[in-house]
Amino acid sequence: MSLLRSNLAHMAGGFVLMGGWAVFANAAHPMPAPLVSGIAQGVLSATITLALKAVIEHLLPRISGLPGLILPPLACAAISITLLSLAHRAVGTPEIAATLALPVTVATSYAALYNYRLRHAP
């Protein structure tokens, strides 16, 4: 199994990178807020990454052409924004906009690039 298709690699990358970002984005606030935000973002990023990967792989043979390139990343962006905002409100993340800025951008870019790569793989 290649790293491109490894669920564990995708999830671990999402947890470490986006959890770390959330800690950084909330670092001006007293502990444990940055840590709680980081753990929440890490778990959510790992889970969302796995879900987005599965959705893209499921849609791959079902949607073709331009809609197949555009719709999966847009759906991923909507899912990410919705789930992350609700979860961060629930855990009391102080800097929600800053916390979401990078993960939503990365999740949408990830979805677009992964979708494109699968559609144009040899």
Per residue in 25-66, pLDDT (tens digit) is 999 999 999 999 999 999 998 888 778 888 888 888 899 899
Residue 108: give the domain boundaries: 3-119
Cβ(100)–Cβ(85) under 8 Å?
yes
Q: Which amino acid is at 55?
A: V
* 47 sits in which H/E element: helix 33-59
pTM for the whole structure: 0.80
User: How many domains does the chain contain in total?
Assistant: 1
Q: How do residues 95-121 score in pLDDT, each as one tens digit?
A: 999 999 999 998 899 889 989 998 887
**Alpha-carbon torsion (82, 87, 92, 93), positive or negative:** negative
